[in-house]
Amino acid sequence: MRIGMSLGLAAVLAMGAAASARAETVNPLEGRWQGVVVQNGVRHALSVELAESDNTWDGRASTIDYAATLSSVSVDGNKVHFVAPDGTFDGEASGDTMTGSVSGSASGSFSLKKTEPDWNPYPNGP
C-alpha cells in the first residue's frame, strides 16, 4: 500500500512540475535585442526590449537619439511589428537574429541579435 501511495504522489508531483515548466515558457521574441538600424545610409546602434503579458506585447527602444516606449507592438509567430520615434519597424526573427525594414520619414533596414538577460555594454563601467 505504501508503494502505491508513493507512486501516486510521485506522479502528482511530476505532473505539477510539468505544468509549472509549461507556465514559465517564454516567447523567444521576448527579451533584449541589440544591433543597428540603417536609415538613409546612416547607421545607428539600436536596442529593443520586447515583453509579453497576457497576450499583449509592449517594448522599449533606444538609440543615441532617444529612449522611448514602443507603440503598436505585435507579434505573429516569428514576425514582429512596432512603431518607434524614427519609423515603423517590420521584421522577422530566426533563432537569435531579427532583421527587417523601417518605413516612415526615413526608410531603411534593421538587424538585431538577441542578448543575454544580464547583458551589459559596459561591464567595467562607462
Tell me the CATH number at 35. 2.40.128.20
Identify the burial level of 108 via C-beta atoms within 10 angstroms of its C-beta, where 0-12 means exposed, 13-18 middle and 19 or more buried. buried
Q: In whole angstroms, give the CA distance from residue 55 to residue 86.
A: 26
pLDDT in tens, the chain (126 residues): 555 544 444 444 444 544 444 445 778 899 999 999 999 999 999 999 999 999 999 999 999 888 999 999 999 999 999 999 989 999 999 999 999 999 998 899 999 999 976 656 666 665
Count of positions (residues) in the chain: 126
In a domain, 109, yes or no: yes
Range of the domain at 67: 31-114
Question: Does the predicted TM-score (pTM) go above 0.85?
Answer: no
In a domain, 119, yes or no: no
User: Please, are residues 100 and 91 in contact by the beta-carbon 8 Å criterion?
Assistant: yes
How many domains is the chain partitioned into structurally? 1
In a domain, 68, yes or no: yes
In a domain, 26, yes or no: no
Q: In whole angstroms, give the CA distance from residue 39 to residue 60.
A: 19
In a domain, 62, yes or no: yes
In a domain, 18, yes or no: no
